[in-house]
Amino acid sequence: DIQMTQSPSSLSASVGDRVTITCRASQGTNNYLAWFQQKPGKAPKSLIYAASSLQSGVPSKFSGSGSGTDFTLTISSLQPEDFATYYCQQYNSYPLTFGGGTKVEIK
Amino acid sequence: EVQLLESGGGLVQPGGSLRLSCTATGLSFGRYAMSWVRQAPGKGLEWVSAISGAGTTYYADSVKDRFTISRDNSKNTLYLQMNSLRAEDTAVYYCAKISGPYDHYWGQGTLVTVSS
């Protein structure tokens, strides 16, 4: 199984900050790496697929990068609606696996 | 607009059974692998099962031999038959397209509670 490790597990940031979340896979994922956002009591919302492709309708302040085993989600200018938990997920092989999540909180 | 709508959740006793359904609209359903993912209260996400467009199935070890995934491409519907349910199966269950090419999608979830 491919293990996904996210860091940090939580962070505090201010509106307007640039935020970066990292995700490391225990083995290569062929860039089959997705990021999504989840707010309390809500379903996950997809942001990025194939490591760097922006999901339709997702604002361009979200971007993904990386390759091989190391990936990054960046939010260029944090807005109030962006405070949420973010997860990475690999879909290179079954079982599909998720990172533990990064909770982005207001400073 | 793509929508995935789950149904079938509820309260069931330990050892009982439940069948979840997920109907897709706005998506070429039969072309894509579909998954079930669950989230226990206050916990992270756990992949449960997946099925390819052609019907090949995959399961997490935690549900193997108890859960069965299936699909009816003529009805754009995904199913999860859950047998021998345990307290630790209590979770919100999401239907999702989270593999394969192009955009990924999630349903709104359905709550399964296993309790006596």
Tens-place pLDDT, residues B27-47: 999 999 999 999 999 999 999
Q: How far apart are alpha carbons B115 and B14 in whole angstroms?
A: 6
Residues of A in contact with B61 (CB under 8 A): 95
Cβ–Cβ < 8 Å for B110, B7: yes
Tell me, yes or no, if B45 comes closer than 8 A to chain A by beta carbon: yes
pLDDT for res B100 = 83
Tell me, yes or no, if B67 comes closer than 8 A to chain A by beta carbon: no
Residue A106 has pLDDT above 90, yes or no: no
Residues of B in contact with A97 (CB under 8 A): 47
How close does chain B come to A101, measured CA to CA in Å?
Answer: 7
Burial of B80 (0-12, 13-18, 19+ CB in 10 A): buried
What amino acid occupies position A43? A
Q: What confidence tier does B102 reach under pLDDT thresholds 50, 70, 90?
A: confident
pLDDT for res A27 = 98
Buried b (16+ CB within 10 A) or exposed e, B98-110: bbbeebbbbbebb
Q: What is the mean pLDDT of chain A?
A: 97
pLDDT for res A8 = 98
Binary contact (B106, A91; C-beta < 8 A) = no
Q: What are phi and psi of B24, to 5 degrees?
A: -105, 140
